[in-house]
Structure 1
């Protein structure tokens, strides 16, 4: 489904991604783990068209995403849940969700997608008229995820969904990620909480200072002493 080959990205003189290559197959949940500043968010921003690559390729089902404007990539079935939620604080929950469906022109389809999101997140339905800025951090993460689901994507890019949440809410968010994966959605997950990420993933990549240092089945990486010492607190 998603294939990245020899991807290089620069911020001015800073070489943020140094020739990374990775794949995410149809129906997989793949994690990209690593420390702060490793280049994880840069990778997602480049995939979704928010950053331009210096060289290399990013393809989705064989289509070159670097030739597709960022605002139309969602129409190819790829949606991005950003780091930090970025909900529209002064709009209601339902207004936020409808903003996620801006490419839909069929009111019936929009209503169907809204009900699908509410089935995944009953709490959002309960708070559909509440201002998004008054939600808890966990609820805002649910809203950001629900907003990304409003176009019925085949694939989700999720950037640090557990950031800033209590341990109880982290478990809830990861339970939701597992549920979405089981429903058939392909997921590329960027996450600092390596233990939780590896527990739910099929495969994973370790990103260190702009390069892929390790890759393989998530269970194998979770058992690897290098990963355990660097990211799992072992």
Structure 2
């Protein structure tokens, strides 16, 4: 088991955001968290990243607890998040953003090699490498956010709403890239409003409702589940 969340409880003041969430991600999988807005999906990712401390429960990565570690240590262990809304550094160039992704590393040659790999995967970023990130389109910023996260050489990539605000054609492209990234050995925990797309590329999925896991199983089974179809797939 690569990543295991056990009985996580998180509150924002009086609001209970997570009420005992448990899920697991095995090496090499794409696992999706789906659910309505406010279900607790983003809170789950932010808790794994160390941005939020759980009140109770455990988070184990490679068998060791990471629940009390600061975010930069969690990144250096191999768990990195592509945040919702992309959050690129708008006043920095594309290449500066990518270099920021490697801030926990000091292997100059490795960083150079990884930059080349990112540009091979995202040719548009290479074309715009000296451009300020704030001038990129939404799709290009999403690619940059993914590239920046990959520069930390993650074992687990936490992806929060990668398709948000993108045109349908770009959504297809971004999901094809997520599949490619997974094929090259990166495990992915994916939070996504577009349940159709999320289930189409995932191995397994969990359905969250008001801070609790209400359904889980192979992605294909959930996609064919009448309850899921009615609530999340508009069928």
Assess same fold via TM > 0.5: yes
Structure 1 residue 196 corresponds to structure 2 residue 197:
yes
Mapped partners of 2:77, 2:105: distance in 1: 13
Task: Show the counterpart of 2:117.
Answer: 116
What's the CA shift for 1:112?
A: 1.2
1:134-173 to 2 correspondence within 5 Å?
A: 134-173=135-174
Mapped partners of 2:53, 2:80: distance in 1: 18
Mapped partners of 2:224, 2:76: distance in 1: 38
Relative to the length of structure 2, the TM-score reads 0.98
Mapped partners of 1:166, 1:37: distance in 2: 23
Mapped partners of 1:89, 1:21: distance in 2: 36
The SS at the match of 1:152 is: coil
Task: Show the counterpart of 1:183.
Answer: 184
What's the CA shift for 1:214?
A: 0.3
**In terms of mean alpha carbon deviation, does 69-78 or 204-213 score higher?**
69-78
The SS at the match of 2:166 is: coil
Note if contact 2:51-2:70 (Cα within 8 Å) is conserved in structure 1.
Answer: no
The SS at the match of 1:8 is: strand
Kindly provide the CA deviation profile for residues 160-206 of structure 1, in whole angstroms up to 9, marking residues without a partner as x. 00000010111111011111111111000000000000000000000
Task: Show the counterpart of 2:92.
Answer: 91
Structure 1 residue 13 corresponds to structure 2 residue 18:
no
**In terms of mean alpha carbon deviation, does 66-75 or 167-176 score higher?**
66-75
Task: Show the counterpart of 1:100.
Answer: 101
Relative to the length of structure 1, the TM-score reads 0.99
CA RMSD of aligned residues (A): 0.7
Kindly provide the CA deviation profile for residues 105-128 of structure 1, in whole angstroms up to 9, marking residues without a partner as x. 121111111112112211111111
**In terms of mean alpha carbon deviation, does 61-70 or 43-52 score higher?**
61-70
Unpaired segments ≥5 residues, structure 1:
none
1:45-60 to 2 correspondence within 5 Å?
A: 45-60=46-61
The SS at the match of 1:4 is: strand
Mapped partners of 2:107, 2:86: distance in 1: 27
Task: Show the counterpart of 1:215.
Answer: 216
Mapped partners of 1:100, 1:182: distance in 2: 21
Note if contact 1:113-1:151 (Cα within 8 Å) is conserved in structure 2.
Answer: no
What's the CA shift for 1:67?
A: 2.7
The SS at the match of 1:104 is: coil
Note if contact 2:53-2:68 (Cα within 8 Å) is conserved in structure 1.
Answer: no
What's the CA shift for 1:79?
A: 0.8
Mapped partners of 1:222, 1:207: distance in 2: 15
Runs of 4+ in structure 1 deviating by more than 4 angstroms, as ranges, are none
